[in-house]
A and B are shown apart, each in its own frame.
Chain A
């Protein structure tokens, strides 16, 4: 499981 990062969070 690779950590994903989508920056749609505040």
Chain B
């Protein structure tokens, strides 16, 4: 464990908590893509099945349980408790165009053709594009609540910190995982446009207006 990975995990945790609290406190999921949240729940489910087979550390297990719990709680709030505030008309990204290719790629490009490894690979590829429905929804509505932009900032920052963690691990431990790195680069690139807007326009505006 190094500082980049730890701050990366904490940034990820912050994003997940910010979103859950935003929906719970405002009792509204307006502007939030339920589809992205379903994809994240799918990412955590397919990646953390090893909770049932191996114990790595208390930290590892605790974080996985928190991530999975919060992901499903968020999906529940969006599609059940506050479904009246769910903006389905703008959350129209065709997620099957993400899940099917990613599923196929996981079968073709992986480290080992075992069920757990293929599911892990699927979760890595899926996570890199899981935010697209959310970014698509924001581009359609042309705006995002400030709290939603903070959520996206920390979510994008987490994988960027993981990239630094992988550079650190390659340099000091000779460890590298090509699949995770390539997917992590793609994932972080998808946020670049948002990062630019967040930094340049985030200050002092109540709504982040993205030019459609």
Seen from chain A, the residues whose Cβ lies within 8 Å of a Cβ on chain B are: 1, 3-10
Contacts and interface: CB of A to CB of B under 8 A. Distances in A.
A7 B50 CA distance: 9
A7 B177 CA distance: 10
Looking at chain B's contact residues, is the secondary structure mostly helix, strand, loop, or mixed? helix
Contact-size category for B: 20 to 34
B120 A10 contact: no
Nearest to A3: B178
A3 B179 CA distance: 8
Interface of B: 5, 9, 12, 50, 54, 56-57, 60, 63-64, 67, 111, 117, 120, 162, 165, 175-180
A3 B12 contact: no
21 contacts: A3-B176, A3-B177, A3-B179, A4-B175, A4-B176, A4-B177, A5-B111, A5-B117, A5-B177, A5-B179, A7-B50, A7-B56, A7-B120, A8-B56, A9-B5, A9-B162, A9-B165, A10-B9, A10-B60, A10-B63, A10-B67
